[in-house]
Structure 1
Amino acid sequence: MSDFNKDEYLNDLPDMDDLSGQAAPAAASAADGASADSAAAAAAAAGATQEGAAQPAAAQSQENGDSAAADGADKADAADGKADDTLTPLGQAKKEAAEYLEALQRERAEFINFRNRAQKEQERFRQHGIIDVLTALLPALDDIDRIREHSEMDDSFKAVANKIDKAFEKFGVEKFGEKGEDFDPTKHDAILHKPDPNAEKETVDTVVEAGYRIGDRVIRAARVVVASPQN
């Protein structure tokens, strides 16, 4: 075994300055690594916190959107009222005048329709009344016609008969049915057909009872004897 030399051993040891210089970078590197790990952990925690907060925020946003839609509808309904508030007195007066005019025009149209319906109903009731009176007097009118045809009438009776005819004409009643006119089944009621060698078509030969009508409405068809061609 060789002898221990204290001086040589001490000389071989590194200086303290060299040791402090090497230790500082190592400590700095370790500190940087620790700081990086801490920063990463903090970022992860922050991300988790933001993700957790995002869901309530989205729900809140949807709720706010629904509330905004409802508020928009209410605002739209109140827009007209607010618009009236922004009108000048002259503009407000013109607006009210237009509304009154529109309402008046509607009322006028409804009144015209009512008046037309009432006039039609009145005319229909009037015709029904005339028909009722005419139907009740038909037997008397037929007797007057028979007296005219088969006997001579004195002047007084003839005057009364003419007044009755004119009264019905005044109410639109028309008497029809004349000998020699063409037979029309829509207004003639044939009680008898007799062959006639001189007839080229069916014609009225004899009027038994005159027909009466109001306008196009036949009250009673004329009862007639029809002359028909032999073939």
Structure 2
Amino acid sequence: MSDFNKDEYLNDLPDMDDLSGQAAPAAASAADGASADSAAAAAGATQEGAAQPAAAQSQENGDSAAADGADKADAADGKADDTLTPLGQAKKEAAEYLEALQRERAEFINFRNRAQKEQERFRQHGIIDVLTALLPALDDIDRIREHSEMDDSFKAVANKIDKAFEKFGVEKFGEKGEDFDPTKHDAILHKPDPNVEKETVDTVVEAGYRIGDRVIRAARVVVASPQN
């Protein structure tokens, strides 16, 4: 849904004066007649007021001013609605409802995004709990792969476990020969090696695991370091 500007929409609504061209002269004539009657009444009131006591005249003037003020306030409150045609009034109400609907829609989208983030966070916590509980078994599988022959059935089970964790975004890392990185490698031993120019992973004791950028367990390795 595109952005909706209620002010621009309301400025285009037709006024009552635009649809009452022929009624305007009659209204003007009525206004002139009312002005003449008001002038005559004002003249009579002046003559009558001259005969009244000063206190009564002052009270009457105060009441008239209060009444005029109330009429002007009422006229100001209803001015916007009185200048609109029935169709214009209906469009104005529709614009207000649409604006409120857009606010509710924006609040719902924000709530949905927060809920999705919370759901993903809880999902990762569940995966981490399962992975942490299975780490000893996974380390034993890696040792069997490295130091002994695995029969076909055991190898198939081990591969299924690896694929299951890959499906949930778990990445296994730590390889012999890669550069040592203290952010993902836990060096349990450093040994000098004349054949390397920088610190390099010589032996992976236990593989590391991570989900995205989050390291669940650093790879425990033996590091070959330059002799100098």
Q: Same fold (TM over 0.5)?
A: yes
| 2:115 paired with 1:90 | no
Tell me how far 1:146 sits from its aligned partner.
Answer: 0.5
Tell me how far 1:160 sits from its aligned partner.
Answer: 0.6
Structure 1 residue runs of 5 or longer lacking an equivalent are: none
Tell me how far 1:87 sits from its aligned partner.
Answer: 2.7
Tell me, in whole angstroms, the C-alpha distance in 1 between the residues paired with 2:107 and 2:44: 73
| Offset from partner CA, 1:121-161 (integer Å, 9 cap, x none) | 11111111111111111111111101100111111111111
Higher mean C-alpha displacement, 99-108 vs 28-37: 28-37
Tell me, in whole angstroms, the C-alpha distance in 2 between the residues paired with 1:94 and 1:3: 17
| 2:76 paired with 1:79 | yes
| Offset from partner CA, 1:73-98 (integer Å, 9 cap, x none) | 99568734453244322011101110
| Offset from partner CA, 1:138-196 (integer Å, 9 cap, x none) | 11111110110011111111111111101111110000000000000000000000001
Higher relative contact order (CA 8 A, sep 6+): 2
Give the TM-score taking structure 1 as reference length. 0.67
Higher mean C-alpha displacement, 88-97 vs 49-58: 49-58
Tell me how far 1:45 sits from its aligned partner.
Answer: 30
**Partner-residue secondary structure (3-state), 1:136:** helix
Q: 1:56 to 1:35 in 2, by over 3 A?
A: closer
Structure 2 residue runs of 5 or longer lacking an equivalent are: none
Tell me, in whole angstroms, the C-alpha distance in 2 between the residues paired with 1:3 and 1:152: 66
Higher mean C-alpha displacement, 63-72 vs 149-158: 63-72
Tell me, in whole angstroms, the C-alpha distance in 2 between the residues paired with 1:2 and 1:132: 44
**Partner-residue secondary structure (3-state), 1:192:** strand
Tell me, in whole angstroms, the C-alpha distance in 1 between the residues paired with 2:216 and 2:2: 166
Higher mean C-alpha displacement, 4-13 vs 108-117: 4-13
Higher mean C-alpha displacement, 47-56 vs 202-211: 47-56
Q: 1:219 to 1:76 in 2, by over 3 A?
A: farther
8 A Cα contact 2:193 2:227, kept in partner: yes
Length, aligned pairs only: 228
Tell me, in whole angstroms, the C-alpha distance in 2 between the residues paired with 1:84 and 1:68: 25
Q: 1:5 to 1:172 in 2, by over 3 A?
A: closer
Tell me how far 1:57 sits from its aligned partner.
Answer: 11
Q: 1:122 to 1:77 in 2, by over 3 A?
A: farther
Higher mean C-alpha displacement, 208-217 vs 3-12: 3-12
Higher mean C-alpha displacement, 144-153 vs 55-64: 55-64
Aligned-residue identity in percent? 100
| Offset from partner CA, 1:34-81 (integer Å, 9 cap, x none) | 99999xxx9999999999999999999999999989997995687344
Q: 1:60 to 1:104 in 2, by over 3 A?
A: farther
Q: 1:195 to 1:37 in 2, by over 3 A?
A: closer
Q: CA RMSD, aligned part only? A: 32.7
Q: 1:7 to 1:190 in 2, by over 3 A?
A: closer
Higher helix share: 1
Tell me, in whole angstroms, the C-alpha distance in 1 between the residues paired with 2:31 and 2:198: 136
**Partner-residue secondary structure (3-state), 2:181:** coil
8 A Cα contact 2:6 2:95, kept in partner: no
Higher mean C-alpha displacement, 100-109 vs 7-16: 7-16
8 A Cα contact 2:6 2:99, kept in partner: no
